[in-house]
Structure 1
Amino acid sequence: MTKRVLLIGTTMGLVSGEKLDQEKAIYVTLESFQQSGYETILLTENREVFPDFHTLAQHVIFQDINLTNLKSIIIQYQIDFIFPTYAANNKLNIFKNLIKQGFLEKNHVKLLVLNQKNLNLMISHKALTNYLQNKGFRLIEHEIINKFDEAMAFVQQHHFPIIIRVNNKEQKTYWNSINTKEELIHLFQTTKASEGYEVERSINTFKEITMTTVRDRFDNKALIYASEDIDPIGIHSNDSISVTPVYSITNRLFQRIRDAVLKLTRLLKIVGICTFHLAVDEKTDSFYVLEISPLFQSKILPIIASTGYPLFEVICQISLGCRLQNVLTLDGSIINAAVELTPNHLTGRFPIWQSPQLVDLNNNLGPHKSSLGAVIVNGNNLETVIMKGFKILNLSDDIFINHPDAKLSDEQIESLLFHTSIRRIIAVCEALNRGFDVQEIQSFTKYNLVFLETLKHLLDLARLLEYKKGDLDTLLLSKRYGFTDFLIAKLWNLTTAQVTKITSQLSLNRLFLPTPSSYSLDHGAVLNYYSSFLDDPFIKEPNYQIIINNYPNSDMISNHEMTILAHQLIHRFQSDGYSVAAQGNLLSKIDSHALGDFYVDSSYNKSYLFSPQNRLNIAINTIENQHINYPVSIYNLKYQQQLLQNHQITTEIIFIQDNQQRLWLSLPITNVLKKLSSQHFEMTAIPSKLKTGLVKRISDYVHSNYQNTKFGTIIISDNDQWQWLDGFTINVGIVSQVNPNFIDVLCHCLVGIATPKSQKSKHLFGRKINLKQLANGLYTTKVKYFDLPTTYRQELK
């Protein structure tokens, strides 16, 4: 009898890049389980999923992930295994209760990856500290206190800042970073702790390291990932810039930490993946284990970008009982996944926020993660990695051209260096430009010293470029360290085209280098590339190929819709026999099965991160259509909010038009805006029926105004005003679910072989988005899906 695996999918609520990464992971996991002969059932709260989920999984269940629903599904579908690796941390108590109540044992269900021991250590910080202490691991100084005077006594011994939290048993209690006596007084005035407070020495003077291990049930194990935060904030690792591999601690200390995490992996009986967050004190040659997580964390995705390691396939196979040395990948090959790979280049992960005006984001980073996601870049030196990160984050102009902190006094700059705000990097660069001592800046910021020296090198090089305008040797040097034509043009008061022309005359060309990896196989696997400037001939891309370039923005909903759309396009084009290459941060390689070449870096000079549009460029170069380019835009959440503020109700319809001007139309999506307060909005989107009269009006409108347009969105306001968009809104995810032939028609139209097909609506649902603007310039986005009434669904069908 075929065994059944229940995958725990993504939850709703706050939208972040982690949700997007989880969706990609689930996509690969479904394929991997299916290849191994298991039936898969997916439980998810997200209605806008990869369309292939419906074909890969025997059942996709859209329900709240809670204890009652989980029990019901286990019984109804006779589940044999539960795979919770991509579940959210706030769902861990569900699995703990299933074990505690004996429900899993009674129904003969095995929980993969998690067990009673590592569940307790993830949920309870007290249990973790006790366990580590019993196993001989050194703990950061901490105490349980009850009074303000006791807290101040701890401060006098260890100094500010400190970390403190209300010490109760609830999982949702958070740590607080306390920097001053006034903040500590406020905490005691506003909270009550029946079991006291847990106070801990801050790690802001330590280096922060992340390590990830894998282990099978035969006790084969390996360290597969290690990175360090080069601008550690001492609170939340995901809000820092991280670089892999680790390069700034001694090899002796690194090996000690490696041995320790591998020992913990065995002690915890991990079968799967486990990530450890550690603090390293080089002064005492010691380290501390801060957090243990056997769940997938998006921070470790650079392991794929830097080595091509088929992470998700490995997790699935070893959780099912496979040996690490004999992992079956999706491309059909058997690999030794216990190999600890070391790439010959650096990979950086840069967190992103919603606003380009970093001066508005001047809050101190705290115990709650503020960044929404991250971008990943590769380079052959740290300078190149940093320059790529600055370019994508729109920081290059402020750091090298505008100098927004130039009018501040030295004392004001010093004050900014002390605070862990989002914009501190600009103050750091201003201090370096003024000649502040690197050691002094390091004592203020606790930044990695190598990182600060690298920043100083880049700033010195920028000044040299300004001083030696037109000097080819300086140009060559700057290119080797990641300076773009766009930035050099500004420093030299030239146009980008002029600098590009000069560069092209040098013996310096862009080369796409495949990352060295045991898993970059000749057949079937995706080659992962990073770009650098070398004295080598330019490698020409294939003559006939479809290339998809993605330039993400900072809106996570828009990114989510764009990624699903892009992967749909890739899959459809490949199914039709086309070779597809993809380039862009959101399209990073996720498995060993995908076809075509993959470029993780882009040569574009301009960042689209804070643009209202999330751009996807599709370059069609086939025998039938040579060198045709189709830019696709998804307008972000803020754009749609502004659109709705003028008209509280709008209706939008996507159209696709083939060469014979035959139209395909999506179901209309009706949008309603509700203003809850001056900074709080609720947007509701509901599919509606496409009536005959409206079809005729749209056909006449498109044929009269957009005869040669392949696709777009028509927006009709409540006063019957019509507007056309040269792309889609964030409702494209709903459209792709309720109109399952949408991608098929779009792809065929783009390559010139389309005939509009009849559409059969399914998976009908509505969506509410809550957008709340915060005082510090950030905003939070929450999504909730709801079922449409039965009578309404029947009418639509």
Structure 2
Amino acid sequence: MPKRTDIHSVLIIGAGPIIIGQACEFDYSGTQACKALKEEGYRVILVNSNPATIMTDPEFADRTYIEPITPECVEKIIIREKEQMAKLGAKGKLVLLPTLGGQTALNTSMALHKNGALARHGVEMIGAKPEAIHKGEDRLVFKELMLAIGLDVPISGVAHNMSEARAIQEKIGRFPVIIRPAYTLGGTGGGIAYNGDEFEEIAKRGIDLSPVNEVLIEESLLGWKEYEMEVMRDKADNCVIICSIENFDPMGVHTGDSITVAPIQTLTDKEFQIMRDQSFAVIRAVGVETGGSNIQFGVSPENGRMVIIEMNPRVSRSSALASKATGFPIAKIAAKLAVGYL
């Protein structure tokens, strides 16, 4: 399919300031996407609170806003740009591409969807639908979805308060346990609890730091081998593994801190094909119709049990790594797929 002709302007949300867990890899991705969309003739509008990036250079976007990345601020920008489009007599519409600015952009876009701002101003989200983002980001929904399609996940439960958290820990029945807050970047607020005191401290902190006051508490996979798959899909349901990544460090060391090797070195062909098939099943079940996703697996060194750890329904830190390792411009292709190309 050719590109969509009903689009006039594309709003891209950047990743904001460089912080631990969120650095220049999103600038790399956003810059690729801006160039790809401009060469297709679209008007590109960029919102980024960090002026010290390449993507905020004047040549990359038609209009650049150095403003806070908050739902309120982005809504004001949408209103202003809609007025500008009316003055220009633009025939197409304004769309939002949320998948290139990491967790910051994704959370802001979802907030705009939930408060009705996108519907109010007639702005369509492209690249990933809100339903797909919700399935990939909400820990409980994702776990139930994986079980529904027959894939293995760690024993776990979702808690919104401390009494629920304690009940889940009792169900798991042993320490250590992993605590993962929902909708946070780079494991912020989470951790590994080796005893009751640590559990109380980390669970409370995770619930407080999660924007939706939600944590996933799961059995420990410490010492397991950790793998990642960079997957892309188009609207014709073609799926491809762009890059397979093996973490040199075992589970327990965050993937952002771990040395990684591409491609995977220590899986048999049969194990790799199982992981590949499971990756395709995950991206289809979550409903990411266009663009890239990062899917993480854990494999037990004792018995070979393979579990799905999580999925990022967006261009991620690993996407930049995979682009550099393979020469495949993931963000550029993701942007082209988002505007209708097959």
Q: TM-score range by the shorter chain?
A: 0.7 to 0.9
Structure 1: distance between partners of 2:340 and 2:206: 47
Question: What 5-or-longer segments of structure 1 have no aligned partner?
Answer: 324-797
Mapped partners of 1:75, 1:196: distance in 2:
32
Contact 2:180 2:206 in 1 (8 A): no
Q: Alpha carbons of 1:164 and 1:298: their partners in 2 closer, same or farther (altered >3 Å)?
A: closer
Change (3 A) 1:310 1:186: closer
C-alpha distance 83-199 of structure 1, shift in aligned 2 (>3 A)? closer
For residues 192 and 251 of structure 1, do their structure 2 counterparts lie closer, same or farther at Cα, with a shift above 3 Å needed? closer
- Residue 151 to residue 116, structure 1, CA distance change in 2 (3 Å): closer
Q: What does residue 65 of structure 1 align with?
A: 69
The secondary structure found in structure 2 opposite 1:301 is: helix
Q: Is the 8 A contact 2:251 2:298 kept in 1?
A: no
Q: Aligned equivalents of 2:119 and 2:237: distance in 1?
A: 24
Shift of 1:322: 0.8
d(CA) in 1 for partners of 2:113 and 2:205?
36
TM normalised by structure 1 equals 0.37
Tell me, yes or no, if the aligned pair for 2:180 and 2:215 is still in contact at 8 Å.
yes
Q: Do the aligned partners of 1:9 and 1:86 also contact (CA within 8 Å) in 2?
A: yes
Could you tell me which residue of structure 2 aligns to residue 111 of structure 1?
Answer: 125
CA contact (8 A) 2:102 2:316 kept: no
- Residues 164 and 269 of structure 1: CA distance in aligned 2, closer, same or farther (over 3 Å): closer
CA distance in 2, matches of 1:311, 1:189: 37
Aligned to 1:253: 271
1:519 alignment counterpart: none
Match of 1:277 in 2: 296
Residue number in structure 2 paired with 1:292: 311
Corresponding residue for residue 86 of structure 2: none
Equivalent position SS for 1:56: coil
CA contact (8 A) 1:177 1:235 kept: no
2:53 paired with 1:49: yes
Q: Which among 8, 13, 16 is matched to residue 11 of structure 1?
A: 16
Match of 2:38 among 11, 22, 34: 34
Name the residue aligned to 2:282.
Answer: 264
Q: Does 1:75 align with 2:79?
A: yes
Is the contact between residue 206 and residue 214 of structure 2 (CA under 8 Å) also seen in structure 1? no
2:130 and 2:71 map into 1 onto residues whose CA distance is: 17
For residue 239 of structure 2, what is the amino acid of its counterpart?
K
Tell me which of 144, 163, 173 is aligned to 1:146.
Answer: 163
Match of 1:131 in 2: 145
- Alpha-carbon spacing, 1:283–1:99, altered in 2? closer, same or farther (3 Å): same
**Maintained 8 Å contact 1:2/1:37:** no
In structure 2, relative to structure 1, the CA distance for the partners of 1:10 and 1:137 (3 Å cut) is same
In structure 2, C-alpha distance between the alignment counterparts of 1:192 and 1:30, rounded to whole Å: 36
Give the whole-Å Cα distance in 2 for the aligned partners of 1:42 and 1:92.
15
Flag the 1:264–1:99 CA change in 2: closer, same or farther, 3 A.
same
CA apart distance, 1:239: 1.3
Are 1:322 and 2:336 an aligned pair?
Answer: no
Indicate the residue corresponding to 1:554 in structure 2: none
Q: Aligned partners of 2:61, 2:169: CA distance in 1, in Å? A: 56
Alignment CA distance shift 1:188-1:276 (3 Å):
closer
Supply the distance in 1 between the matched residues of 2:206 and 2:233 (Cα, whole angstroms). 42
One of 257, 260, 264 as aligned partner of 1:239: 257
CA shift, 1:222, in A, is: 0.5
Identical columns (%): 21
Equivalence for 2:176: 161
Partners of 2:284 and 2:166 in 1: CA distance = 42
Query: For residue 111 of structure 2, what is the aligned residue in structure 1?
Result: 97
Normalised by the size of structure 2, how large is the TM-score? 0.81
Assess if the C-alpha contact under 8 Å between 1:121 and 1:292 holds in 2.
Answer: no
SS of 1:80's equivalent in the other structure is strand
Could you tell me which runs of 5 or more consecutive residues in structure 2 were left unpaired when the two chains were aligned.
1-5, 83-92
Deviation at 1:9, TM superposition (A): 1.3
> 1:146 corresponds to which letter in structure 2?
S
1:134-533 alignment, distance < 5 Å: 134-143=148-157, 146=163, 153=170, 157-158=173-174, 160-164=175-179, 174-184=189-199, 198-270=216-288, 271-323=290-342
Letter in 2 for 1:68: E
CA contact (8 A) 2:103 2:183 kept: no
| Aligned-partner residue type, residue 288 of structure 1 | V
1:228 Cα deviation after fit:
1.0
Q: What is the CA RMSD across the aligned residues, in angstroms?
A: 3.1
> Residue 319 of structure 2 contacts residue 330 of structure 2 at CA under 8 Å; is this kept in 1?
no
Letter in 1 for 2:276: R
The superposition leaves residues 736-795 of structure 1 with CA deviations (integer Å, 9 ceiling, x where unpaired) of: xxxxxxxxxxxxxxxxxxxxxxxxxxxxxxxxxxxxxxxxxxxxxxxxxxxxxxxxxxxx
Cα deviation per residue 1:191-212 (whole Å; 9 max; x = unaligned)?
989x997531111132111111
Cα drift, residue 177 of structure 1: 0.6
> Is 2:299–2:307's contact at 8 Å kept on the other side of the alignment?
yes
CA–CA distance in structure 2, aligned partners of residues 216 and 153 of structure 1: 43
Q: Distance in 2 between matches of 1:285 and 1:153?
A: 26
Which residue number in structure 2 is paired with residue 497 of structure 1? none
Retained in 2: the 8 A contact 1:164–1:177? Answer: yes
Residues 1:58 and 1:251: Cα distance change in structure 2 (over 3 Å): same
8 Å contact kept, 1:279–1:289: yes
How is 1:681-720 mapped onto 2 (pairs within 5 angstroms)? none
Residues 146, 196 of structure 1: 8 Å contact kept: no
For 1:98, give the aligned amino acid.
Answer: L
Amino acid across the alignment from 1:203: L
1:378-427 Cα distance to aligned partner (Å, 9 max, x none): xxxxxxxxxxxxxxxxxxxxxxxxxxxxxxxxxxxxxxxxxxxxxxxxxx
CA displacement at 1:139 relative to structure 2: 2.0
In structure 2, relative to structure 1, the CA distance for the partners of 1:152 and 1:264 (3 Å cut) is closer
- TM alignment of 1:665-744, pairs within 5 A: none
- Classify 1:153/1:221 alpha carbon distance in 2 versus 1 (closer, same or farther; 3 Å): closer
Contact kept in structure 2, 1:227 and 1:244, CA below 8 Å: yes
Determine if contact 2:103/2:184 at 8 Å carries over to the other structure: no
